[in-house]
Amino acid sequence: MPEAAVTIEDLTFRYGSHTALRSISLHIPAGCCFGLLGPNGSGKTTLMRLLATLLSPTSGRLQVCGYDPVQAPDAVRRCLGVVFQQPALDGDLTVEENLRLHGAFYGLRGPALTRRIDELLERFGLQKRRRELLRRLSGGQQRRVDLMRGLLHRPQLLLLDEPTTGLDPLARHTFWQTLRQLRQTDHLTLIVATHLLEEAELCDQVALLDEGRLVATGAPDLLARELGEEVLWLETSEPETIAAFIQTHFGLEARVIGASVRVAASDAHALLPRLYEALGSRLRSATVRRPTLEDVFLIHTGHHLHPAAHATLSS
């Protein structure tokens, strides 16, 4: 097994009586871009806060960069950078002032800090903005400054919790390009919490979380391919009846998941006309597609990653 940046064994965390994480075990290899994908409230931020030493496990074990965050929080903090949902920056300070302030938190000062700031500003193409108030920068540029802040002390591991929240698609794309470059040039391990499928699919490996449980983990394309080359989904107002009909008349496995029926068929395209012939108007829609992480999530949990969006689409 490759060297681990993070090892999590049987980790449980409770806020009072509410269990936010249940028996999670994960191995995150060094140098990997690892995505934590899950809907709101699935426990992503809680896991990030545990890794960042901001919370202590209720039970179970954690190792970050080879250290136990409870026993050696300072060593863990030195090895990691954090970029959380709310930028940790002050809009009324200049870009450089923000970076100097945060550099000081890490014990950086004098010419070494100046050199590091120069280097990062150049790398992120923000040299000309260094004396500008942060609030005058675009949302995407402010996120890049926040990323620079997280990188000032040259961490081995960067935790990013929904780092593209509030960014438009172009700024999000640019931010992800930056992350990928960073990983190559700095050999960083990245752990990115997201509720966006398209961001999780950019990661080398993902963990799917739902209601504090680890639902599945692995490389996104491998997880999806385990479901076969294609998946067939039927939308209908009578999923139970339709699933039973398909099992009886076509001899195929048909599973009700939420308000949909998933049919396991090796040649779904050829099956479609036959299904329409047999079921006609009882089907609201039938979709054949290459499986995605959304399908993986749906099959493991019985519900969509973003139920509200699906309710709106299908109503």
Ligand X SMILES: Nc1ncnc2c1ncn2[C@@H]1O[C@H](COP(=O)(O)OP(=O)(O)OP(=O)(O)O)[C@@H](O)[C@H]1O
What does the binding site for ligand X look like in residue numbers (CB under 6 A)?
Answer: 15, 18, 20, 38, 40-46, 195
141 or 194: CB nearest ligand X:
194
Task: Reduce the DSSP state of residue 64 to 3 states and report it.
Answer: strand
With beta carbons less than 8 A apart as the criterion, state whether 212 and 218 touch: no
96 or 161: CB nearest ligand X:
161
Long-range contacts of 73-81 (CB under 8 A, 24+ apart): 76/52, 77/52, 77/53, 78/106, 78/153, 78/155, 79/155, 79/156, 79/157, 80/51, 80/52, 80/155, 80/156, 80/157, 80/158, 80/159, 81/150, 81/151, 81/152, 81/153, 81/155, 81/157, 81/158, 81/159
Residues in Cβ contact with 251 at an 8 Å cutoff, skipping those fewer than 6 apart: none
Quote the least distance from Cβ 279 to ligand X, whole Å.
38
The whole-angstrom separation of Cα 83 and Cα 190 is: 11
Residues in Cβ contact with 299 at an 8 Å cutoff, skipping those fewer than 6 apart: 227, 255, 257, 262
Quote the least distance from Cβ 193 to ligand X, whole Å.
6
**Nearest-5° angle of CA 162, CA 165, CA 166?**
175
Quote the least distance from Cβ 211 to ligand X, whole Å.
8
42 or 178: CB nearest ligand X:
42
Strand 254-257 vs strand 260-263: parallel, antiparallel, or unpaired? antiparallel
The whole-angstrom separation of Cα 23 and Cα 10 is: 4
18 or 131: CB nearest ligand X:
18
Quote the least distance from Cβ 220 to ligand X, whole Å.
18
Quote the least distance from Cβ 216 to ligand X, whole Å.
16
Quote the least distance from Cβ 13 to ligand X, whole Å.
8
Quote the least distance from Cβ 161 to ligand X, whole Å.
7
The whole-angstrom separation of Cα 145 and Cα 121 is: 8
16 or 169: CB nearest ligand X:
16
